[in-house]
Homo-oligomer: A and B are copies of this chain.
């Protein structure tokens, strides 16, 4: 394990200390608990938005708390859920009477704890909490039939949900409306990823899985969950084509539709490669006559030092476009 760390058990807390040191104008914490991160700029009367999940995905989840996006975030150990108690503390801190929206990824542990926190917030504090669960990894399961539970994993596409919901809350919409926008964004985003190398959870100390020197795994999740297929590494254009075939078929799109595109590095993939991917995405979408409103390229949701990337498409309408374009300023996402 080759990491620039001190004791593995201090990994998360020391990372958090560094985060507060670097961004004092934007974030702070509550309940004397470094893992209960809240905005340093609370806006009275605004719907509060909170998220959370395991550590190891920076800039997810912490990095999106700030102006025009999220108000609070709880993190657990690497790849482990934070507790309901911690989420309750954040909820109390960010509520200013308009209620709180939870937006988080579709993982068992997170769901259970956010649900428990929502109950406690209601029973113990009288705070109204609504939840939107993001699950948009088309490689992780088929689409849910009407009325069925969505079993897809939530991955990088959640950033689009944060952005749209955050802008709606910032525009002082009420909780139902903010929830509606978040649900709309979640319903219109699709993601797929590919991994080339595993990552090492510091306290585990060894790679989460093995993969050959010339292999890739298409559809792998951001904790190393099994993907759709493992095979020989292919040229970038071919990989992107396979991924987009799946993503685009899932909505489906018609000629003239408009999207926002998120190209996301999983940890150790150079930006150069992400732009080579961007180039092919643009060709592909032009062929399908899908218009790209805006590209986001970089690391938005990682798996520690995994090599690989994901592509997320958000299908836009005028409403989502408006909220996507709104300004925001957080430790990792600034848009003017």
Would you call A275 an interface residue if the criterion is a C-beta within 8 Å of the partner chain's C-beta atoms? yes
Interface residues of A in 273-306 (CB under 8 A from B): 273-279, 282, 295, 297-299, 302, 304-305
Would you call A11 an interface residue if the criterion is a C-beta within 8 Å of the partner chain's C-beta atoms? yes
Q: Does B213 contact A5, Cβ atoms closer than 8 Å?
A: no
**Interface segment, one of A87-95, A115-123, A132-140, A234-242:** A234-242
CA distance A23 to B297 in the complex (A): 10
Q: Does A15 contact B305, Cβ atoms closer than 8 Å?
A: no
Write out the residue numbers on chain B whose beta carbons fall within 8 Å of the beta carbon of A22. Answer: 263, 275, 278, 295, 297
Q: Does A236 contact B279, Cβ atoms closer than 8 Å?
A: no
Q: Does A279 contact B334, Cβ atoms closer than 8 Å?
A: no
* Interface size of A as a range: 35 or more
Would you call A196 an interface residue if the criterion is a C-beta within 8 Å of the partner chain's C-beta atoms? yes
Interface residues of A in 304-336 (CB under 8 A from B): 304-305, 307-309, 329, 332, 334-336
Write out the residue numbers on chain B whose beta carbons fall within 8 Å of the beta carbon of A299. Answer: 271
Q: Does A2 contact B304, Cβ atoms closer than 8 Å?
A: no
CB distance from A210 to the nearest CB of B (A): 14
Task: Enumerate 14 A-B pairs (CB-CB under 8 Å) in ascending A order.
Answer: A4-B273, A4-B308, A5-B276, A15-B276, A17-B275, A18-B276, A18-B277, A19-B278, A21-B278, A22-B275, A55-B272, A58-B270, A271-B302, A336-B336
By a beta-carbon cutoff of 8 Å, the part of chain A in contact with chain B is: 2-7, 11-12, 14-19, 21-23, 55-56, 58-59, 194, 196-197, 213-214, 233, 235-237, 239, 263, 267-279, 282, 295, 297-299, 302, 304-305, 307-309, 329, 332, 334-336
Q: Which 8 A-B pairs have the closest CB atoms?
A: A268-B268, A18-B275, A18-B278, A18-B279, A22-B295, A58-B271, A4-B273, A15-B272
